[in-house]
Amino acid sequence: MDRVDPRGTNISVLSCNVNQDSGTPLNTGNSSTEVDIGEVEDDGAQWWGAVLSNDGSWDLTIQGPNGKPLYSTWSIRPVLNGSFTITKKITARSRGAVRTPTSSAAARGYLSDFCSLHKIEDQKLVALVDALLIPVAKYDGRQEGSSRSRPYHMDKSQFDKLLTLSGNPRGIKALLCSVFYEPNVECNICGIWLQGPFALLNQFNDDNTLSRTLIRRDPDIGALWVGAFMTDAHHQCLQRAQAAWWDIDRKVAAWTDTPMSFIQEPISAFSGLKLKFLVQTNAGYYT
């Protein structure tokens, strides 16, 4: 059943249908996996029940032009070989008769408490960047993978901005490929120049070494590379980069202050005056 990440409820600006209830545990007729969420309030237990259910109990859609529902870019279709059974201890009951969707801050709090309970705080950050790259994997028509990358520390204050950026998969792919941009290499020879870096990268037999190398190239976008390897979205990016044929998104480049093209390079005041003069002189030819 399609599932929508609850963080999408905080950024939707369109009229949408939002519904959250406890649902039923995922059940495929095979073995059951027990999920201990510890001591939680009733609202937290309801959230975990919705996330781990398979009956569409978490739903966020908008109506498309043809009347059909449009799902969030973070919606996925889980494929599991068993079911989840939640064990919990309710500490407080919800007083509201009508339940409202869980906010992104509350959802992160539930996830943080769960990771603290099981002492897997680093895995929480990996899970978050994995979710951020789901739209990129779907953009390339890939199924989300199960690769394992090393834990990566992400600035939590930037999470809302990363979530917004995640809604632009083309922009994220442009960011990932920006590690191959070299300002001192002319455009007409960049394909030949890239043969050197990829002669090295193609020698790596494991994703951990490859991901570390790419992250060192530009640590500022390292979290995105972790998510790309977790979702297997890195394959398409590397293929386009090796062919010297990748997209450039100038808005994303400016927003993240990431160099992607020679057009971002600073020019001298004298060169700026020359360009201004040429534009004014030839203005009549383009009217």
- What number is the average pLDDT over the span 176-194? 90
Query: Residue 261: which residues within 8 A CB-CB, separation 6 or more?
Result: 181, 248, 250, 253
Contact 136, 233 (CB under 8 A): yes
Q: Where are the domains of the chain?
A: 1-119, 120-287
Look up residue 162 and give its two tokens.
């990363």
Instruction: List pLDDT tens digits, range 267-276.
Output: 888 988 888 8
Q: Say if residue 183 is exposed, middle or buried (CB neighbours under 10 Å; 0-12, 13-18, 19+).
A: exposed
Which pLDDT belongs to residue 282? Answer: 59
How many C-beta atoms surround the C-beta of residue 18 within 10 A? 15
Do 100 and 107 form a contact (C-beta atoms < 8 A)?
no
pLDDT, residue 26, reads 45
3-state per-residue secondary structure call for 127-139: HHHHHHCHHHHHH
What is the secondary structure of 73-134 as a DSSP string? TT-B----SSEEEEEEEE-S----SS--PPPHHHHHHHHHHHHHHTT-HHHHHHHHHHHHTH
Check residue 218 and give its pLDDT.
92
For residue 59, the model assigns a pLDDT of 62
DSSP 230-264: HTTTHHHHHHHHHTT-----HHHHHHHT---SGGG
In this prediction the pTM is 0.67
Q: Three-state SS for 63? A: strand
Q: Are 40 and 113 in contact (CB under 8 A)?
A: yes
Question: If you average pLDDT over residues 37-64, what whole number do you get?
Answer: 77
- What CA–CA distance (Å, rounded) separates 190 from 244? 7
Distance separating alpha carbons of residues 255 and 265, to the nearest angstrom? 15
Give CA–CA dist 261/131, Å, rounded. 28
| pLDDT tens string 103-122 | 888 888 898 899 999 988 87
Mean pLDDT for 125-131 is: 82
Torsion of CA 16, 127, 76, 222, to 10 degrees: 90
Spell 114-143 as b/e; 16+ CB within 10 A means b.
bbeeeeeeeebbbebbbbbbbbbbbbbeee
Please name which of 47, 54, 2 lies closest in space to residue 24, comparing C-alpha atoms.
Answer: 54
Select the more confidently predicted residue: 127 or 194: 194
Residue-wise pLDDT for 199-242, tens only, equals 999 999 899 999 999 999 999 899 899 999 988 889 999 999 99
